[in-house]
Structure 1
Amino acid sequence: MTSMPASERLGSHIKRAEQALNATKTAVLRPAGLTVAQYAALLHLSDNPGISAAALARLCGVTPPTMNTVLKNLQDRALIERTPHEWHRNVLETRLTDEGRVVMADADARAVRVERALAAEFTDEERETLTRLLGRCVGLLEKERP
């Protein structure tokens, strides 16, 4: 017997919610031809053109090697282009291509439908409370990290 039942572990509930969100987004992004990780990269690239792979990895919450794989797949599909930085030749700047913007717009419309449906399950006050509570979780867990 464990010292704390699974039903009382907040981490289990957070993980289940994350898994359900990822599974739903995976299903709605499939017709756009993107994975959730690829969509996240395109989303952040649309807001941060020219960003480096390392900075993009941090924004997406993945390791740099994982992001390099994601970017290689997006580049192979001609959805992004990577060019050397003007002053730092060993840094590649990453930008969406025209085709990448088209795919991103389609994928984003699909993902936003999921986000809106999720948000609609809560009142404005509940959404604000949930956002604040999750922020507290993140703050505590980031402080506790070894």
Structure 2
Amino acid sequence: MGVEERIAEKLDPRLGTHLKRAEVALMAEKGRVLKPFGLSVPQYAAMHALSVAPLSGAQLARVCCVTPQSMTSLLSTLESKNLVERTPSEVHAQVLIARLTRSGHAVFRKANEAALAVEARLSAEFEPEEEERLRALLARAVKVLGEGG
């Protein structure tokens, strides 16, 4: 048995290995379908949140599960592509509020169709009861890990 097989044998029983593999596969496929729109998965996630409501960079970072520094860089890139604009908050002049531009909304709508098709393909692999159970199991995993042990 080779080294890779021995490593796989040790990792396979670990639940985290399977969660990570699923996440990596999903992000890779979303990345593939978003590439024609010039978007990365994190950029798409930020645009998705902004399609719901304008947000500050800090709010977006929390929603998208990235650091504020990463979000600042991501927003600068989206702004340079004219997909997002940032204006001072009416409440706090030091805080910039990001919102999708008209072209940002157009790109998001098309990119969202592609991302939704990936998720539909994934959902199609499960019976409705299985998908509901999977969602519940993943929610439990998030809850227990979020409690910090």
TM range (shorter): over 0.9
Aligned-residue RMSD, C-alpha: 1.5
Aligned to 1:29: 34
Please report the TM-score for the alignment, with normalisation by the length of structure 2: 0.92
- Cα deviation for residue 87 of structure 1 reads 2.3
Q: Which runs of 5+ in 2 are unaligned?
A: 1-5
Structure 2 SS opposite 1:24: helix
Aligned to 2:3: none
Aligned to 1:52: 56
| AA matched with 1:27 | R
Aligned to 2:138: 134
- Cα deviation for residue 108 of structure 1 reads 0.2
| AA matched with 2:114 | R
Mapping of residues 87-98 of structure 1, within 5 Å: 87-98=91-102
| AA matched with 1:73 | T
- Cα deviation for residue 106 of structure 1 reads 0.9
Question: Structure 2 CA distance, aligned partners of 1:59 and 1:87?
Answer: 21
Question: Is it true that 1:83 corresponds to 2:87 in the alignment?
Answer: yes
| AA matched with 1:48 | A
Identity across aligned pairs (percent)? 48
- 74, 87, 104: which one aligns with 2:78: 74
CA deviations on 1:25-63 (whole Å, 9 max, x unpaired) are: 1100000110001000000000122x1110110100100
| AA matched with 2:112 | D
Q: Which runs of 4+ in 1 moved over 6 A?
A: none
Question: Structure 2 CA distance, aligned partners of 1:67 and 1:109?
Answer: 23
